[in-house]
Amino acid sequence: MTVFCLVELESGAVADASLRALTLARGLGPVAAVAFAPPADLPVAELAAYGVSDVYAVAADGYAPRAWAWAIANLVPGWPDAFPEGPAGRRPAVLAAGTDRGNEVLAHLGAIIGLPMAANCVAAAPAPGGGLELVRQRWAGLLLEDAVLDAPVALLTAATDAVAAVPADAPGPVMVHAVKSELSPADLMMRAEEAPAAAGGASLATARVVVGGGRGVGSADGFAPLEELASLLGGVVGVSRVVTSEGWRPHTQQVGQTGTKITPDLYLACGISGAIQHIAGCAGAKHIVAINTDASAPMMARADYAVIGDLHQVLPALIEALRAR
Amino acid sequence: MEILVCVKRVPTVGGAITLTADGQAVDTRMSGFTISPHEECAVEEAVRLVERHGGSVTVVTLGPVAAEEQLRFCLSLGASTAVLVETDGSELSPFVTAAALASVASAGGHDLVLLGNEASDTGDYQVGIRMSYFLSQPVVTGIKALDFAAETSMLTARREYRGVSETFRLPLPAVVTVKEGINLPRYPSLPGRLRAKRAVIERIPVLSTIDRPELLTSPEFRVKGLRVPAAGKRSAVVLGSGVAAVPELVRVLGELGVLP
Ligand SMILES: Cc1cc2nc3c(=O)[nH]c(=O)nc-3n(C[C@H](O)[C@H](O)[C@H](O)COP(=O)(O)OP(=O)(O)OC[C@H]3O[C@@H](n4cnc5c(N)ncnc54)[C@H](O)[C@@H]3O)c2cc1C
């Protein structure tokens, strides 16, 4: 039975978090992607590479979570009359990335069709006794929950930092279906007016390089070398909660359980101790390099490489060395 | 403006999370309990809205009697009344939680329901949204800035997503979930704490808030157990101390492929 997967697009490509969701979806059955964009804007080759066989291109005027959920509900076989019956793993499923949008749209969908929604799954497979065996993140990934979801339609999101994005072995052809959607007044009430954010630039969640600063940075002014290094490496600055509660940096830059989850190739953590709530946000980094005066800081046990020292000395020297190259 | 804020009692998590022997829950013998930072911000936001526009803040939780501790904390921050929807402390589904909280909200006729974006323990990301469907009210989530215009009775709610600022405008009554960063919550004042200590907390049995008791257990979603993920423990290769380590650091950054 078809596995529908909400796909988010970013600069014309499939967002990294959605590639991860497509990978998880593929393990459950043939995948139909649902994208809220005109057919001409779809990265069809990329979708094919991830094993998608059908794409529903829903006409949408901006992000409207309730309207998006209704559009997906209308694609679910049988709904609202009667869900198709079927053995384990043969029932339809709807997946999305465990992003703010993915979790929001699937929660709306769960409320609309009256079924449970499992957020931030790291694994999903047909259960021997029926339904799906799931592994879900709790405490932002500090704990895992083993669960069984046995509903007529499985609704789940894929954790953005724990499922790897892997292209399909044998990509096939893709059929594109254009879908119209109508916005009700209630949907319109929940439609986002979009504008470039004040900070602008690359986003923390998707940056390839994040230069992190914690209490060790010492002040708002102390961030100048971190900013400089980030721009040299084509990355962005991320911070610990101490930094945002001191008011040195805006909360939009916070990495962690109550901030943003990051998945860069490199996280350069400067003056950050590595509290578990911070780790919850950076555990998805491919490589971590720590700069800390304390060789026994917990961050050291999470890092691949470490420099023991004062970031106020190491960073300017590093910037100088990079400029000299 | 009458505001209802929904909060949840969760374990305080320090250096590491440990589980009970049966792997069904977080071991709280050595830790205390708290509410999530998102919810603390929700209480603060409610108190600020009422300070500006009048009205009152009610705080509600679904949980065991011990959760009165968290309600009193919210009272000390400026909420004026508190309601405990009493359970035996076992975990209830997001559906039941939303149904119970929505029944309190509709009985109270609140203009605005505020929640945290997600509970810090179960991280289900849906209670606020499900509540809005029970209440037939609009909902927006993950909000980082909230304004109310009394003249038009409209809320303006903002958040950021991937470098884009999203603005929602909605009429009251509405449900809004907020994230840490929307404000810096105040600390409890001394008079606040004294008032909170004396306050009488209304108790409602959970069964009186939902019409079908069989809903308390969900046959469609069953938790088997919890586990601590295999730690991504790496033991860091120390590149050296201070500025002397910089050449090695540059070499490693080159190896990792992040140098321009
Ligand atoms: C429910 C909850 C949610 C939370 N959510 C988050 C979250 O989302 N994100 C988050 O980050 N935190 C979060 N926290 C807070 C977290 O527990 C820590 O308090 C916080 O991460 C610590 O920040 P820090 O590492 O900057 O500061 P500290 O723990 O004080 O560490 C500072 C580090 O800097 C080093 N240092 C000092 N000076 C220098 C120098 N000159 N050069 C190099 N190194 C130096 C020190 O050795 C130390 O290791 C949360 C806490 C709770 C209870």
Give the pLDDT confidence score for residue A88 in this predicted structure. Answer: 55
Evaluate the omega torsion of the peptide bond into residue B173 and state whether it is cis, within 30 degrees of 0. Answer: yes
Instruction: Pick the closest to residue A34 from A16, A20, A17, A53 (CA basis).
Output: A53
How far is the C-alpha of B118 from the C-alpha of B125, rounded, in Å? Answer: 5
For chain B, give the mean pLDDT: 94
SS3 B147: strand
Taking residues A279-286, report their average pLDDT. Answer: 94
In A, which residues are within 8 Å of B141 by CB distance?
A: 65, 100, 104, 107
Domain with CATH 3.40.50.1220 in chain A: 197-324
Q: Which of B130, B137, B164, B221 to mutate to test the interface with A (most CBs of A within 10 A)?
A: B221
CB contact under 8 A, B243 and A104: no
Whether this prediction's pTM lies above 0.90 is answered by yes
> Chain A contacts of B94, Cβ < 8 Å?
116-117
Q: Which residues, numbered 22 to 61 in chain B, qualify as contacts with chain A under a Cβ-Cβ cut-off of 8 Å?
A: 26, 36-38
User: Per residue in B222-250, pLDDT tens?
Assistant: 999 999 988 655 679 999 999 999 999 99
Provide CATH code, domain A197-324.
3.40.50.1220
pLDDT in tens, A11-42: 899 999 999 999 999 999 999 999 999 999 99
B73 to chain A, any CB pair closer than 8 A? The answer is no
Which residue from A249, A252, A254, A278 has its CB within 8 A of the most atoms of ligand 1, so it is best to mutate? A278
Residues 258-297 in A contacting B (C-alpha not used; CB under 8 Å): 258-259, 265-266, 275-277, 283, 287-290, 295
Task: Give the relative orientation of helices A311-324 and A224-232 as an angle to the nearest 10 degrees.
Answer: 30
Residue-wise DSSP of A112-125: HHT--EEEEEEEEE
The binding-site residues of ligand 1, defined as CB within 6 angstroms of any ligand atom, are A 214-216, 240-242, 254-259, 271-273, 275, 277-278, 281, 291-294, 297, 310-312; B 36-37, 120
In terms of CA atoms, which chain B residue is nearest residue A286? B256
CA distances from A33 to A55, A57, A66, A75, B260 (A): 5, 8, 18, 11, 35
User: Does the beta carbon of A188 lie under 8 angstroms from any beta carbon of chain B?
Assistant: no
According to CATH, where is 3.40.50.620 located in chain A? 3-188
**Domains delineated in chain B:** 2-216 (3.40.50.620)
Say which residues have a Cβ less than 8 Å from residue B139's Cβ, sequence separation at least 6: A190, B128, B129, B131, B132, B174, B175, B176, B177
Which of B122, B184, B240 minimises the CB distance to A138? B122
3-state secondary structure of B248: helix
* pLDDT at res. A60: 87
Tens digit of pLDDT for each residue in A190-216?
Answer: 899 998 876 545 689 999 999 999 999
Alpha-helical segments (H) within chain B: 37-53, 68-76, 94-108, 127-135, 190-198, 246-255
Work out the percent of chain B whose per-residue pLDDT is above 90. 87
pLDDT exceeds cutoff 90 at B122: yes
Render pLDDT for A40-79 as a digit per residue (tens, 0 to 9): 999 999 999 999 999 999 998 889 999 999 999 999 988 8
Predicted confidence (pLDDT) at residue A272 exceeds the cutoff of 60: yes
* Rounded percentage of chain A residues whose pLDDT exceeds 70: 97
Q: CB distance from B140 to chain A under 8 Å? A: yes
Name which CATH class applies to A3-188: alpha beta
Q: Which residues in chain B are closer than 8 Å to A301, comparing Cβ atoms?
A: 233-236
State the complex-level ipTM.
0.95
A199 in contact with B at a CB cutoff of 8 Å? yes
Residues A294-323, mean pLDDT to the nearest whole number: 96
Interval B35-88: pLDDT, tens: 999 999 999 999 999 999 999 999 999 999 999 999 999 999 999 999 999 999
pLDDT band for position B31 (cuts 50, 70, 90): confident
